[in-house]
Every structure is written in C-alpha cells, then in structure tokens.
Structure 1
C-alpha cells in the first residue's frame, strides 16, 4: 500500500485549510516518538494502521517537527505522486533536508529533476559500467560467502547492504574494499541514522548533530581519495 506524507508549510495554512481528522501529539515533537518506535519494531506499519482505523485512510499528524497529512489511500497517493509538482510540491522532514542539502535531487522538481534523473540513468546504463558492476558484485558476494560459518548466524539484510555499499562506492569513486572503505561505511551509517530524526542540529550529542558531523567527515574522506587517485594518474582530468 502506497503511503504519502504531505507537509503543511505554515500554521496559517494549517488553520485555514480543510484538513482531515487526526492528532498532533505532544508540543513540538508531535507523534515522532511513536512513529520512530513503530518503524524500528517488527510491525512498522502499526503507526499507520492504528490511525487509519480511527481517522480513516487520510489523516493528520505531526512528525519530525512538521504538521503532516498522511495518505494510505492508493488512489489519493497515486494522484499526488503523478501531479508532477503542479498541485503538490514534495517536502521532506527537516532532518533529511539538512543532511541532503538544498541542491539534492530530492528537493528539486519538474524539468530539472527529470533532466538529472536522465543523466544519472544514462551513467548507470553505460555498458562498461554495467559490466564492471556485475563483476564487482559477483566478487563481493563470493568474498562475503567465504566468511560464513556453519556455527554462526548469517544476517542476509546486513550482508546485502554491505555488498550494495561496496558496489556503489567502487562504481562512483573506484575504491576497493579496505580500511578507507570501512571508514567511509562507518560515517555513512552515522549519516543515514539522522535522516529521520528530530531537527536538533545545533545540540551536540543529538542524532542530527552527529549525522551532520559524519557528513563532513565523509566529504573530506571522498575528496582525499579522489585527489590521491588524481595525483597517481588513476583519474583522467577533464579540461575545464
């Protein structure tokens, strides 16, 4: 079932617009704690199910610092997603926009978004790159399986995430598994942990603060890796 969250931009709009039934929860944090706790449980859909039974397929809430309209209705969600930013403009939690940046593909709309999607698609459709990704994936799967032991459990989701990360990093910056890859993965895991968190970016110790610090470390590490490859003639320079 498709679920869409629409964020209401201002309190005046929230008051004047005819909005669905629902609850706003606690001041500022709203229903964020309940939403996150359900997301990490064995029934992540329970947050939606509980409110859908009480308020209907479309209901209001307050998540990650923003008033939110949640749609669990397939037809409503389809209409919203196909509006091409004419009637509905995509909006995301403050934590996600802080981490991804204003120029992220998530935050642009219309023709520019389609153009960037096309460029990214063309990059990954390159026959040479597809061949390389296939070889790398096979190699990393074999390396992962070689470490499995009969007396130890194998967590397929974790193994799959690790292999996918290795393949993408190799495709994007030509980095092989090793110490730098592990350091990059550690910072990446800290980074994505803050994508759905309370927007306390200036409070040391908060998840968003830690994720922003991890992003800075990732950028520096990637710049260092790319510069090192350039210095050793491993990346061809394109004239400006």
Structure 2
C-alpha cells in the first residue's frame, strides 16, 4: 500500500516535470531551426490551443479565438492545433496565393491524428499521382450527366420526404436535419443504401461518431471522441468490406441489378481498390461533401430567417417555374433546366457561404 500512496502523491510532480521537459524541448527545437515564424502562441504543451480553437461561437462571427489572436498578432499567426505546430491565416491574399499554388509550392497536410482517422489513402491526405488517381475516380463518377440523372432527382425526393416528416408549426434542429438529408443523398449514390433503413441509420450514427473525432483532441484513450472515432472507422470499414464482397458475389452470379449506378459498382468495374482504400475514399467524400453541404444549408436557413423579402423572392422564383411547367404540360419533377433558371436561389446560396466558410 505504501508504494501506491507514494506514487499517488508523486504523480502530480512527475506530470509537471514531464510537461516542463516537453515545453523546454519544443522551445529549444524551434530556436535551433531558426525559422522566421510569425508571432503567436503555442499554448499548452501537448494540448496547444486546440480547446480554445474548438470552442463554439455564433456562425456569423469568427469566434473569440480568431478575433483575439487577430487583434493580438495580426491576420497571420502561429499556434499549436490538434497536436501539430500550425500557421493560421485569415489573410485573403495569402490564402489565395496558397490555393493558386496547390501542388506546386504547397501540398495538403493534416496533423497525424487527423490523417490516422481519415485514412492513409484518403483523397484529403494523399498527394501527387495517387491523389490525382483517386480524385479522377470521384470526378468521373460524379460527372454532369450523373448529377442531372441521379443527384438532382434524389435531392428533391429526400428533401420532400424530410419536410413531410416534420410536425407543423414546430421548431426543428436545422443542422441535424441538413446533415440527415445530405448523408442520405450521399450514401444512396455511393452504396445504394436507402434512407430510414436500419443499416443506413447504423452507418449514419457511426459516421457522426467518426466526424466528432476528426476535429477532437487527439487523445486515444477510452471515452474520448478521438477513441470513439477510431473504433467507428474500423466498424465502417468492416461494413464496406462486407458490402463489397456481397456485390462481387452477385456479379459472379449475374444477379447484380445495380452495376455502375453507385460509386461502389463504379469502383469495382473501373479500379482495383481494396476495401480499405475504398473506405478511405468514401469517408473522404463524406467528410468533404457532407459537412460543407449541411453547413451551407444551415447557413441559408439562418440568414433567410431574418430576411423575409428574400424568402418571398425565392418563393416567387420557384412558383414561376412551377407555373411555367404546368402551362407546358410537363411533369412537375425538378430538372436541370429548372435549376439553371433559379438565378436568385443560386445567389442566396453563394451569399450565405461566401463570408462564413466552415473552419
């Protein structure tokens, strides 16, 4: 018992010494490199400034963390986020320069903890030839013809289904509902999974757990969001592996009625990706498309709430399209031509996204 008691009292001291040693080592490492870094703070050892960066804030502001650092250090500053030294830029000119020189002067990079969850062959992590190959698979699948034939029809159907499921005159969680719509749309076109089915809902919950870990503190210990995300990723990969095996077996038996109508079928026909590589591609597409789309929908709803004039103009634009289709005697279903005539609708979407991109 005595050694246990001694260790109990010594542990705080040992922890302080460890933190001090890590802080000193990081400080010496930065000095020895002699880099001309912008001003800023590296925050706490190990944690950095991740907690402050992750703190919730109104969507129509940069948030206390960004505003405080910009006021203190300027629009370009150094920090430590998600376990990695980071240069943060809120300077439009520098950001444009970086994006315009992607793959020439700069390459995409994520902290190791984030890359481990996304997967080593995720399109968001890869660079060079392999990145171009994975990107070409996604782009070729999601061509303009498929957008017209599948995505637009599915989008209208899932939005209408979701709207009809809401009780009248009752508040609803906008971001949660937007996430549900975009997830259902994407897994339908990626895996031919239908909304509302037990396996679809199970996969959606696994993905939401996965997403929370991508931007969490990289603490791989029981109970943390990061640990749950690691486990969710492993389960998602098992589901994908099973679906791939089932589809391959159906193709051999001649009973596969889906073919290249979804991304899974397209990949099986057009590439030799294994289950983990396809899983990384799927999670990367969900991460890149699901989060941005659901956030954009939420922002549109948020801003329209305070702008009844814009709501009325949107309603009139859509009713005009409906009236014109009735006069021509054509089906009421949304078409690509309808979408191209929604000029004000597209302006609203662009205006909502432009100043408040998800960080």
TM-score, normalising length: structure 2: 0.58
Q: Select which of 180, 203, 222 maps to 2:199.
A: 180
Give the CA deviation at 1:61.
0.8
Of the structure 1 ranges 115-124 and 53-62, higher mean CA displacement relative to structure 2 is found in 115-124
8 Å contact kept, 1:95–1:197: no
Cα distance per residue 1:30-85 (max 9 Å; x no partner)? 11111111xx2224533112111111111111111111111111111122222233
- Conservation of the 8 A alpha-carbon contact between 1:94 and 1:199: no
Matched, 1:212 2:191: no
Q: 1:113 aligned to 2:101?
A: no
**1:52 & 1:117 partners in 2: Cα distance?**
35
In 2, the alpha carbon distance for the partners of 1:163 and 1:14 equals 51
User: Deviations 1:195-238 (Å, cap 9, x if unpaired)?
Assistant: 1122222x122211110100111111233334445555235575
| Aligned with 2:242 (options 221, 224, 230) | 224
Find the partner of 1:159 among 177, 184, 192: 177
Instruction: Give the match for residue 166 of structure 2.
Output: 148
SS at match of 1:106: coil
TM-align CA RMSD: 2.5
- Flag structure 1 segments of 5+ consecutive residues without an equivalent: 1-9
Tell me the equivalent position of 2:84: 66
> Which of 23, 33, 57 is 1:41 aligned to?
57
Report 1:18-37 matches (<5 A).
18-37=36-55
Preserved CA contact (<8 Å) 2:57 2:63 = no
Structure with more helix by fraction: 2
Distance in 2, Cα, partners of 1:11 & 1:166: 47
Structure 2: state its 5+ residue gaps.
Answer: 1-27, 260-267, 273-359
**CA distance change for structure 1 residues 227 and 59 in 2, over 3 Å: closer, same or farther?**
same
Normalising to structure 1: TM-score of the pair?
Answer: 0.84
Higher mean C-alpha displacement, 78-87 vs 59-68: 78-87
1:130 shift after superposition: 3.5
1:151–1:112: structure 2 CA closer, same or farther, 3 Å change rule?
same
Which of 1 and 2 has greater Rg? 2
- Whole-angstrom distance in 2 between the partners of 1:180 and 1:44: 38
